[in-house]
């Protein structure tokens, strides 16, 4: 078994075979799923490297643990400094973006997995990993560094905004599909209705709790006017879309519309609002002759370990949002998120708790690798997702990670430990994202009323 597993892994790394686990007890895996997981792993690996490069502790650890590091840097201190900081992140993300952009062009108009281009896309993982590393390292040899960094920053900002828009569209699609999938199970089992009610109650409880939390810690009677204004606006908009979703005019055209979707949207908007308030520069007021910082959560003034916890949670949320967007935005089902579509007739599907993982159909050709998981080759007749679109989303995701890790436009002195520190650019980006998300969701509700002929069955 060990020999067979080694052979299969060698075929995966240097050939077109699908990558699988060596354990026989692992469930079957689809070729399309395994391929996307591997690309996501590469993406996550480079993202972690970028996060590490932004930490000021990295250089200290390198000096303490790498032999002869000080001696090497004495002769070329400038070269040692280029291995960390925002410029290093820009160069590494440039290499990753070039890697995915090349594959986006390389995989245009692939319709099944039988061609040689599809074989390269689905296999040769060791070769592609070497190419990815070479692209990232090659970024450090680009001449005219100042011109490159300025130009690449502008490109990264544009691509990051586009990716953020796609991410918000997918969130709206996620909310609609969640409600549609669980609603389809109500006719067969009333427990799904109880599950819908329970989750909806939890979502709105979390949204209201976040609203109260921010009202207590992020407002002040003498300062933080923007916080009070935007908190009121966002809370009112969440209430408005919730009432709109269950209004008779919407229910007539979209019977599946309920409170679950606005619950998901409200929680996300409250999270973005909290993140925006945390990203805003701190405000101070003079009280009893002492400048006092207001509108901050007490954890921000706590110990260093508390700051590390906040940073870790922010990084986990960042990874989760980016990977979810990249892995779900190119499937046939999720591609509908990029356009408005009718919800008058629910899709015929089986209600599942984990509805976002895979399709209901499992009738594919199966191949026993002999050394681990069995592989379902589900793309011999046709691709499950658009290869070029998949790599394009990862290309935009690379730009989004680059801009987020370097704090968008304020990158000169930015460090990953201060990811949640003040920046007006980050504040406005997140606040505008709240409104865009709400507008997108409202549009999916009112579009059938505005264009009734387009949504007729």
Residue 342's pLDDT is 46
**Entry pTM:** 0.79
Residue 303's pLDDT is 44
Reading the block at residue 273, the tokens are 């609002």
Reading the block at residue 239, the tokens are 């209430």
Residue 356's pLDDT is 60
Residue 114's pLDDT is 80
Describe the crossing of helices 387-405 and 86-106 by its angle, rounded to 10 degrees. Answer: 170
Residue 345's pLDDT is 44
Residue 236's pLDDT is 96
User: Cα–Cα distances in Å, from 274 out to 130, 238, 278?
Assistant: 40, 14, 6
Whether the CB-CB separation of 325 and 40 falls below 8 Å is answered with no
Reading the block at residue 214, the tokens are 């921010």
- 10-residue mean pLDDT series, the chain (457 residues): 53 58 59 84 90 75 68 58 78 95 93 85 90 93 86 90 84 82 79 88 95 90 89 96 92 84 92 84 80 73 47 65 64 52 50 60 50 66 83 91 78 57 78 92 88 68
Reading the block at residue 175, the tokens are 């909310």
């Amino acid at each position: 078994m060990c020999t067979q597993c080694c052979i299969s892994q060698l075929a995966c790394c240097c050939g077109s075979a699908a990558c699988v686990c060596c354990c026989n007890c692992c469930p079957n895996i689809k070729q399309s799923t395994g391929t996307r997981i591997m690309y996501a792993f590469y993406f996550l690996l480079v993202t972690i490297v970028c996060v590490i490069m932004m930490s000021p502790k990295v250089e200290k650890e390198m000096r303490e643990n790498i032999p002869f590091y000080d001696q090497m840097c004495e002769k070329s201190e400038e070269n040692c400094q280029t291995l960390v900081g925002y410029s290093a992140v820009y160069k590494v993300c440039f290499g990753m973006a070039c890697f995915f952009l090349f594959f986006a062009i390389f995989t245009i108009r692939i319709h099944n997995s039988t061609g040689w281009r599809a074989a390269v896309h689905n296999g040769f993982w060791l070769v592609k990993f070497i190419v990815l590393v070479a692209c990232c390292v090659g970024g450090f040899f680009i001449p005219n560094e100042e011109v490159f960094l300025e130009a690449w920053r502008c490109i990264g900002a544009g691509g990051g905004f586009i990716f953020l828009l796609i991410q918000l569209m997918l969130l709206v699609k996620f909310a609609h599909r969640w409600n549609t999938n669980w609603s389809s199970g109500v006719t067969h089992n009333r427990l799904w209705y109880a599950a819908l009610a329970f989750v909806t109650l939890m979502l709105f409880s979390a949204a209201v709790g976040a609203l109260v939390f921010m009202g207590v810690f992020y407002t002040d009677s003498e300062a933080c006017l923007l916080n009070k204004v935007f908190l009121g606006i966002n809370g009112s908009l969440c209430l408005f879309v919730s009432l709109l979703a269950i209004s008779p005019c919407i229910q007539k055209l979209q019977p599946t519309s309920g409170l679950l979707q606005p619950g998901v949207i409200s929680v996300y908007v409250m999270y973005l609002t909290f993140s925006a308030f945390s990203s805003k520069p701190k405000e101070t007021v003079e009280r009893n002759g002492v400048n006092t910082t207001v509108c901050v959560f007490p954890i921000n003034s706590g110990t260093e370990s508390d700051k590390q916890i906040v940073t870790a949670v922010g990084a986990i949320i960042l990874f989760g949002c980016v990977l979810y967007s990249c892995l779900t935005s190119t499937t046939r089902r999720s591609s509908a998120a990029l356009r408005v579509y009718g919800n008058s007739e629910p899709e015929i599907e089986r209600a599942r708790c984990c509805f976002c993982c895979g399709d209901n159909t499992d009738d594919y050709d199966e191949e026993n690798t002999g050394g681990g998981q069995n592989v379902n080759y589900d793309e011999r007749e046709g691709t499950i997702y658009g290869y070029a679109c998949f790599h394009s989303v990862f290309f935009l995701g690379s730009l989004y990670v680059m801009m987020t890790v370097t704090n968008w436009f304020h990158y000169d002195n930015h460090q990953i430990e201060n990811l949640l520190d003040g920046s007006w650019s980050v504040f406005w980006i997140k606040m505008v994202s709240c409104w865009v998300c709400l507008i997108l969701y409202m549009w999916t509700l009112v579009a059938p009323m505005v264009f009734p002929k387009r949504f007729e069955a």
